[in-house]
A and B are shown apart, each in its own frame.
Chain A
Amino acid sequence: MVAVRRRAARSAAPSYTQADVEALSAANNEPNWLRESRLMAWELYEDMPMPGFKDEEWRRTDYRHIRWEEAEKLVSPNGASVDSVPAATLEPLIGEKQGGLLIFVDGKVVRYEISEELTRAGVIFTDLLTAAREHEDLVRANLMTKAVKPTDGKFAALHAALWTHGVFLHVPRGKVVELPLHVIMYNTHDGASLGHSLVVLDENSQATILVDYASADGSTHSVYIGATELLVGDAANLRYVSLQNWNRQTFEFSHQRARVGQNANLDWIVGTMGSQLAKMYLEIELDGKGANGRMSGMFFADHDQLFDHDTQQNHNAPLTTSDLLFKGAAKDHSRTVWQGMIKSMPQMQKINGFQASRNLVLSKDARMDGIPGLEIEADDVACSHAATFGTLDADQVYYLMSRGIPRSDAELMLSEGFFDELLQRIPFERVRDRLRDALDAKIVG
């Protein structure tokens, strides 16, 4: 008798339908324009194939082992409160006092605070669904129309059709928000969440916002299909920190893009520690003359994690400056990819674009790829790019040990030392501490 072995069918794509989009929109009691925009995105989504090996951007990131049939179930609130969020995540990381705090647990707002000072100044800081109802003009004009668009890719379209929750920040012209804003998106159970961050800074305004992503240990696959949109108006100043610490069963697919206006300034900090697989597009569009964008990325992969950071620095105006530094480490049999591109058009003169990816390979089974790229068509420019790879230096380890420091501590010091250059770019002490703690846990763990 011949035994017939059958592999369990694994779906290559989520099985969402238009009815899911309509049901979500109805359950949210959304305004018509929002429902319409979701349905238009859905059509786009249906017309696009799932990205795969044939796409250059996905060549190194195989996500086909995701169990969509389990991961795709939309996370819904089941009564979990703010108490389920770990204390370390709740901790304010920037300053003693916060201007606002917005905590989502399983996509539901469980805590919402905004200081009177901000409300008086006309700052809007609220969840995106509320904002869509109460500030239609602002949200409608900016939600997935300027920064991330449904046409950006399969996951961007799916996000636009099916986003589940999000934050909206609007700072009116000339207003300076000195107190930082803190957003937490925390999931207590498995499934799909599609979170959105929409930040709109009007001319000559200023804000600092930190978004924390985390989830409790899972029993099966989860997926996060996110979008972040940072619209930094002329002469505005945005400091944006995002820290990702999803559980080890989560797959993240996210599009994150900033648009930076004339003489405006963006300081963008990204920390990637969690998830099983993360494919993140991180893009800065320097749209206005004199715009300045800085991106500092830090990641540490271990076990079977795969992180793929895909960055772009697009100089769409003359006299613009971008400065990107990614520092990452990989141990065990983890994999990381960083691919970056600096682009400028022929008439965009006097631009400065810097890009560096520094990689610390901590095990022979780990693999790190760094692919820098320049497409510069102007001639009066200063651009540099570099990707370096190294392991812990045996002479450095010996030198530290020769002073009495045990090998494991010496290796920890050197790994921390490797990241120090990046940590020094982060102007918030407790953000640095949090990242350092996460690093130490990974190095020792």
Chain B
Amino acid sequence: MVAALEIRNLHVSVEDKPILRGVNLTIKQGEVHALMGPNGSGKSTLAHALMGHPAYHVTAGQVIFDGEDLLEMEADERSRAGLFLAFQYPVSIPGVTLANFLRQTINARMKAKDPESKGISIPQYTRLLKSKMDYLGMDHSFAGRYLNEGFSGGEKKRAEILQMATLEPKLAILDETDSGLDIDALRIVAEGVNRLSGPNLGALVITHYQRILNYIKPEFVHVMFEGQIVEHGGPELALHLEEQGYDWIREKYSAAE
């Protein structure tokens, strides 16, 4: 069965301030969706609410992932269920190397399946990590560096894609993965995503700009405004936004308050 993420009438508040005001969206494995919208429209809030950030409070609605109630799960359970979020601002963690971190993520999965599991063996892990890094064109020296510490913007985003490649999620949310990247870095990141996409990966590409969509081709494009998805369409919608900007959205949907 194809796994699906179904978001039904989702309302989310941050510090008692409502941000999402009834989001509806369904994404199936194998599909690539783009979520666009002006700054502050709630795109990142949706991403973190889906991932389970403790500061984002769901006040109403439902999210079903692969037949299960996603909102009942902690962030780590959501990840192990097959959801992945590539952070817009990956957190740096001094003292924890990228290699150690990724190994723990794999071991956490093995232990969740089998509490007796001793985790992945070091040689097996080393092979896996090297192959994934080669696949994404990453220098092996990354593995020994502290996670995201002192990484450039492009390196951070590539490390996010490396994590995605290693964890092989069913559904990946890419939160403004293009922001702050120069064209070369953007191409590398987009190629990484494209290599991973296929019938087993559903993707929600969150972006403010159309630029990344030259590299990652979505079948479905959605526009978020003031905490709701207001427009649905195909790739032509993204091009239209590129030409026209978001003003027409504002005019059409601004709450008459």
A175 to chain B, nearest CB (A): 37
Q: Mark B46-78, 1 if CB is under 8 A from A, else 0.
A: 000001111100000000000000000011101
Is B8 in contact with chain A by the CB < 8 A criterion?
no
Q: In the complex the two chains form, what is the Cα distance from A410 to B75 in whole Å?
A: 12
- In the complex, A399 has a CB within 8 A of chain B: yes
* A353-369 at interface with B (beta carbon < 8 Å): none
**B105 on the interface (CB 8 Å rule)?**
yes
CA distance A410 to B91 in the complex (A): 13
Cα distance A354–B163 in the bound complex, in angstroms: 38
Interfacial residues of chain B within 12-58, with CB under 8 A of chain A in the complex: 51-55
* A421 B94 Cβ-Cβ under 8 A: yes
User: Chain A: which residue is nearest B92 at the CB level?
Assistant: A396
- Cβ-neighbour of B95 out of A398, A402, A421 (below 8 A): A421
Give the CA-CA distance A386 to B105 in the complex, in Å.
34
Q: Is A87 an interface residue (CB 8 A)?
A: no
Task: Determine if A400 and B53 form an interchain contact, defined as CB atoms under 8 angstroms apart.
Answer: no
Contact in complex: A403, B163 (CB < 8 Å)? yes
Least CB distance, A388 to chain B, in whole angstroms: 13
Question: In the complex, which residue of chain B has the Cβ closest to the Cβ of A408?
Answer: B76
Q: Digit string of A238-278 for contact with B (CB within 8 Å is 1, else 0)?
A: 00000000000000000000000000000000000000000
Closest to B75 in A: A401
Contact partners of A398 in chain B: CB under 8 A: 52-54, 75, 91
* Segment with Cβ contacts to A, from B79-87, B137-145, B217-225, B233-241: B79-87
Stretch with Cβ within 8 A of B (4 or more), from A60-68, A110-118, A146-154, A412-420: A412-420
CA distance A400 to B51 in the complex (A): 12
CA distance A394 to B54 in the complex (A): 9
Among A395, A401, A413, A416, contact of B52 (Cβ-Cβ < 8 Å): A401
Distance, CA A300 to CA B2, complexed state (A): 49
For A404, give the chain B residue with the smallest CB separation.
B79
A423 and chain B: residue at smallest CB distance: B95
Decide if A409 is an interface residue (CB 8 Å cutoff): yes
Q: In the assembled complex, which residues on chain B have CB atoms less than 8 Å from the CB atom of A416?
A: 95-96
A-B pairs with beta carbons under 8 Å apart, 25 shown: A398-B53, A398-B54, A398-B91, A400-B101, A400-B104, A401-B52, A401-B76, A401-B79, A402-B51, A402-B75, A402-B78, A402-B79, A402-B85, A402-B87, A404-B76, A404-B80, A404-B105, A404-B108, A406-B74, A406-B108, A407-B76, A413-B104, A414-B93, A416-B96, A417-B146
Task: Give A residues with C-beta under 8 Å from B.
Answer: 393-396, 398-407, 409-410, 413-414, 416-421
Instruction: Give 9 closest A-B pairs by Cβ, nearest first.
Output: A417-B95, A420-B95, A404-B79, A401-B75, A399-B91, A417-B96, A401-B76, A403-B105, A404-B80
